[in-house]
Amino acid sequence: MNAPSTAEAQLRVQSLHALEYCERLFFLEEVEELRVADAAVFAGRRLHRELDDGERLSMDLSSEAIGLMGKLDAMRRRDGALVVTEEKRGRPVPGAPPGAWPSDQLQVAAYGLLLEEAFPGERVECRVRYHEPAAIVPVNLDTAMRGRVLAAVERARVLRRAGVRPPVTSEERRCARCSLAPVCLPEEEREHSPETPRLFPEHEVRQIVHVTTPGARVGRLAEELSVTVKDQPDVRIGGKRVSALVLHGAVQVSAQAIAMCVEEQIGVHWFTGGGVYLGSLGGQVGSVHRRVRQFEALRSGELKVGLARRLVAAKVEAQLRFLLRGSRDHEESRLRIGAHVRDIRHCLSAARSAADASSMRGLEGAAAARYFSALGELQLSSVDERLRWGRRSRRPPLDRFNALLGFFYSLVQRDVQAAIVAVGLDPAFGFFHEPRGSIGPLVLDLMELFRVPLADMPVVASINRQTWDCDVDFDVATRAGVTTKVWLSATGRRKAIEIYERRRQESWKHVQLGYSLSYARLVELEVRLLEKEWSGSPGLFATFRLR
């Protein structure tokens, strides 16, 4: 047996279970430090708590010689032997008698070796107890099994030292039961067929909580977040049901609530009262390996130009399709924007073959100028004049349309920032935008994909539906009779958030991938597809298009 280097960290016994099941799963969990607690994981934790009957003994064990550490599920003394029992919710291998799955055998045998070292001279027996249906399966700690454990430890060390993500397993059925399938995205690296399982969920499982009332306070009560507003009943939400906490304006949050958000990987995001995104406390931090791969990949000028070319083409084509779709039933509007559409088509064609980022920025800017010049033609004649599009103004917005657009863009920024952090990439290292201000270049890059579907389209649609009250939903600052700033009031922010969140949950079919998912999930999917450009299956980033 080869002893590990003293500088090499010990492996978790549980990691051998993942290694036997799928080497890619091992790498994601142990090297990239990605762990997702799905319903099955929570059910397993409940099982262990329920089995705490006072007789079983749980203990922490480690061995420098073997290179393993772990916590036993259960250890008892029976007939002069120490009996290690690994508890499993699932079914055993069918047969008479039933058998233990290879990954379960490896895990319990590793605990057996640790127990032998901790209690020299004691006889150790290993068992796996399955609960659906109830069955206890012995695992023989013989020479062959000992060799399997040591070989698995050595293989795990090799994978960890290599730092290269292993390929997707060839056994698709394993992916269907894996909690990390939405992170690994194995179906994107296989050939697609009608039978290919859909592993990336269509909708978010957890919800985003926006707190918009000035003076509100967010605290913690046991395992719940509590929102307190004066003269109103407290609102309590279980922490495991929340993906992000978004605080707008003068909202207080307690240290205990922030600590809970860190524990539960809940992102905390701050907006000013005027709707400007200030920043966040990330719910998850990417491992060093993922960020190193990002840095190394994006040092390649060729890769950056290729990604930028696809990004610009996707954004400009979205603008073009929105103009065409929004004007298709209005012949006069279609005629008035004809010249703008022709110019945008020219920019799109040129962007697809542009040689460098500087040229693409010029083409993207030219297309945006034509797009915003034509945007007003998508508004109905019945729209209040105070909500009509004039020209783009940002810092500060000078009319109600720009105030809406700016607020929706800030919400898009929050979504993109949260997705980048959740995937484990660095927002500060992008491929198209130059660093400016406090917004990470990668955030600015990926926002370009979602400005039209998540901001422009719902803003124009809500104005045409006469959703907004110009007197109630907006605050206007003037000086000497001239408007100096327009922003959403508290009432307007709540209305905008409702419209935006409803839009995020709308499902849309990805043409390239062949399945539907909400826009909320699409943001995260695009970040994961971007990472695959240098660590998996390239070619799918920025391929989705508006219908």
Q: Cα(295)–Cα(225) distance, rounded to whole angstroms?
A: 37
In tens digits, the chain (547 residues) has pLDDT values of: 444 444 567 888 988 988 888 888 888 888 777 655 444 443 444 444 444 444 456 678 888 889 999 888 778 888 888 998 888 878 888 888 889 989 999 999 999 999 999 889 889 999 998 887 788 899 999 999 999 999 999 999 998 888 777 887 777 777 766 767 766 666 555 554 444 444 455 556 678 889 988 889 999 988 889 999 988 888 888 888 888 898 998 899 999 999 988 888 888 988 888 888 888 886 555 567 788 889 999 998 899 999 999 999 999 999 999 998 888 777 777 788 889 999 999 999 999 888 888 899 999 999 999 999 998 889 888 999 999 988 888 888 999 999 999 999 999 999 999 889 888 888 989 999 988 767 889 999 999 999 999 999 999 999 999 999 999 999 999 898 888 999 999 999 999 999 999 999 888 777 666 677 888 888 988 998 899 898 877 888 988 887 7
Q: At 300, which amino acid appears? A: S
Q: Cα(467)–Cα(202) distance, rounded to whole angstroms?
A: 28
State which H helix or E strand residue 358 sits in.
Answer: helix 357-374
Hey, what domains does the chain have and what are their CATH numbers?
11-189 (3.90.320.10), 207-281 (3.100.10.20), 288-535 (1.20.120.920)
Q: Looking at residue 176, what is its pLDDT? A: 67
Q: Is 376 helix (H, G, I), strand (E, B) or coil?
A: helix
Q: Cα(64)–Cα(377) distance, rounded to whole angstroms?
A: 71
- DSSP result, 84-137: EEEEESS--BSSSS-B--HHHHHHHHHHHHHHHHHSTT-EEEEEEEEETTEEEE
Residue 512, phi then psi, degrees to nearest 5: -75, -40
Q: Looking at residue 59, what is its pLDDT? A: 79
What predicted TM-score, i.e. pTM, was given to this entire model? 0.72
Distances (CA, A) of 237 to 118, 207, 231, 244, 245: 44, 10, 19, 12, 11
Q: Cα(53)–Cα(56) distance, rounded to whole angstroms?
A: 7
> Which tokens sit at 75?
């250890």
Q: Looking at residue 203, what is its pLDDT? A: 56
Q: Cα(279)–Cα(417) distance, rounded to whole angstroms?
A: 9
CB-based contacts of 505, cutoff 8 Å, min separation 6: 203, 204, 518, 519, 520
Q: Looking at residue 517, what is its pLDDT? A: 80
Q: Looking at residue 282, what is its pLDDT? A: 67
- Residue located via tokens 């995937």: 423
- Nearest residue to 417 via CA among 449, 398, 442, 453: 442
Q: Looking at residue 513, what is its pLDDT? A: 64
CB distance 518 to 506 below 8 Å? yes
Residue 436, phi then psi, degrees to nearest 5: -155, 140
- Nearest residue to 400 via CA among 485, 319, 461: 485
Distances (CA, A) of 2 to 9, 184, 220: 15, 32, 49
Distances (CA, A) of 52 to 39, 47, 48, 49, 306: 21, 9, 7, 5, 56
DSSP state of 387: G
- Rg of the chain over Cα atoms, rounded to whole angstroms, equals 28
